[in-house]
Amino acid sequence: MQSSISFLKSFTDVRAGGRLRAVPPRDARYRPYRFAAWVFYFGAIVVLVGLFVTSVVRNLANRTRHRDQTGESALPTRTSLRVCMDDLDGLYREQNERAWALGSRFEGQDPLGSWTEWAQRWEERLDDVADRCGLDAPGGEWAGARADMAAARDAMLALHRAYAAQVNRFAQENADLARAAAEAMAHAREAAAHPR
């Protein structure tokens, strides 16, 4: 306790009534360097924020442009609804196969990065099917079938987000253990293939 009090007293000036000592004035010779450091610091912040805002704006502009190019098409016929259902079913199977196969494909360079890349493409393809099939269009012919397909799409997307959350949590908590196990298995396979 005594040492902490003496430590605190070393930072205060007893003659100044217990106030902190004034900071000595800065050397005027270094003023241009300090100014340049501040300009560089704030310039870097402005550049990074500008890049971030530009990226967000481009992403949003690309999404609207993509949806504008698809245009408002007529509501689907019964045959096109079957094709849409086949597309949704294919995306559903692909998602489940990919999620279950992730553990067996962990030996690659960046399996979690490949999952993230695939997940973004998968979501875009799901959005394309929804736009093409008019799943969110109200009323019209085959409205009940489109509503059921929209509910299936929403359930698939919820499952996809749950898979993504599990993958991200695994990446944060256990990726090093999985990589170490994969490397150890590769080394063991190599040693078994070439016994000494």
Q: By mean pLDDT, which of 29-38, 55-64, 103-112 is the weakest?
A: 103-112
Identify the residue with better confidence: 119 or 176: 119
From 49, 71, 93, give the residue that closes a domain.
Answer: 71
Q: Within this chain, do residues 153 and 174 fall inside the same structural domain, yes or no?
A: yes
Query: What is the residue range of 176's domain?
Result: 76-193
From 71, 100, 127, give the residue that closes a domain.
Answer: 71
Read off the pLDDT of residues 59-95 as tens digits, 9 standing for 90 and up: 888 877 655 554 445 555 778 888 888 999 999 999 8
**Contact criterion met (CB below 8 Å) for 103 and 151:** no
Q: Within this chain, do residues 85 and 60 fall inside the same structural domain, yes or no?
A: no
Other C-beta atoms within 10 Å of 41: how many? Answer: 10
* pLDDT for res 13: 47
Other C-beta atoms within 10 Å of 127: how many? Answer: 17
Q: Within this chain, do residues 89 and 31 fall inside the same structural domain, yes or no?
A: no
From 14, 39, 71, give the residue that closes a domain.
Answer: 71
Read off the pLDDT of residues 34-67 as tens digits, 9 standing for 90 and up: 999 999 999 999 999 999 999 999 988 887 765 5
Q: Within this chain, do residues 64 and 102 fall inside the same structural domain, yes or no?
A: no
Total structural domains within the chain: 2
Q: Within this chain, do residues 95 and 186 fall inside the same structural domain, yes or no?
A: yes
Q: Within this chain, do residues 142 and 177 fall inside the same structural domain, yes or no?
A: yes
Read off the pLDDT of residues 182-192 as tens digits, 9 standing for 90 and up: 788 888 888 88
